[in-house]
Amino acid sequence: MSLHDYFNYIIIPILGFSVILIFIRFLKGPSLSDRVIALDMLILISICIIAVYSIQTSQSTFLDIAMLFALIAFLSTAAYAFYLEQRERK
pLDDT value for 3? 85
- The alpha-helical segments, DSSP class H, found in 1-90 are 3-6, 12-28, 32-57, 61-89
Amino acid at 73: A
pLDDT in tens, 19-29: 999 999 999 98
Instruction: Give dist(CA 78, CA 82) in Å, integer.
Output: 6
Domain around 34: 3-89
Please give the backbone phi and psi of residue 59, each rounded to the nearest 5 degrees, phi first: -120, 115
pLDDT at 57: 92
Q: Can you tell me whether residue 8 is helix, strand or coil? A: helix
Number of domains in the chain: 1
Confidence of residue 81 (pLDDT cuts 50, 70, 90): confident
Q: What is the pLDDT of residues 21-69, one digit of tens each?
A: 999 999 998 988 899 899 999 999 999 999 999 999 999 999 999 999 9
pTM of the full predicted structure? 0.85
